[in-house]
């Protein structure tokens, strides 16, 4: 279970009111809230083939046979972000290629 954290106390979230009107709150979230969890992720795509999220997730799981898990995020236009639970898995995938999925080369960038 995730540790609870007060984002306002940590100055990662702040509340402003439009024109000073307390009935119109605006919540401002620091970019690091969204960026930090994906900091060590890889951006991947298949050269010459578009596949859906579930197909890609299933094929990667079968091909990579990781010690830990991974999270996959579809970022559009055939690209995905992959975040690994274990750093050693990430390094093995980066250095262990080339990887073929659906008979197409999987390209990746840090």
Give the model confidence (pLDDT) of 52-91 as tens digits.
Answer: 999 999 999 999 999 999 999 999 999 999 999 999 999 9
Residues 64 and 12 placed together within one structural domain of the fold: no
Give pTM, 2 decimals.
0.69
Which has the closest alpha carbon to 41: 75, 64, 65? 75
- The reply to whether 19 and 50 lie within a common domain is no
pLDDT bin (cut points 50, 70, 90) of residue 6 is confident
User: Both 30 and 64 in a single domain?
Assistant: no
Verify that 44 and 96 share a domain, yes or no: yes
Query: Cβ-count burial of 79 within 10 angstroms (0-12 exposed, 13-18 middle, 19+ buried)?
Result: middle
| Nearest-angstrom CA–CA distance, 79 and 53 | 10
Contact indicator for 63, 108 with CB cutoff of 8 Å: no
User: Among 10-14, 30-34, 39-43, which is the least confidently predicted range?
Assistant: 30-34
| 101, β-bridge pairs | 104
């Amino acid at each position: 279970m995730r540790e609870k954290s007060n984002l306002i106390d940590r100055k990662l979230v702040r509340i402003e009111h439009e024109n000073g009107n307390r009935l119109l709150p605006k919540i401002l979230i620091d970019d690091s809230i969204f960026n930090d969890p994906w900091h060590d992720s890889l951006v991947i795509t298949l050269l010459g083939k578009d596949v859906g999220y579930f197909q890609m997730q299933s094929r990667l799981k079968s091909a990579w046979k990781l010690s830990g898990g991974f999270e996959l995020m579809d970022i559009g236009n055939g690209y995905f972000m992959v975040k690994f639970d274990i750093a050693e898995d990430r390094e093995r995938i980066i250095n262990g290629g080339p990887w073929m999925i659906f008979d197409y080369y999987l390209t990746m960038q840090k």
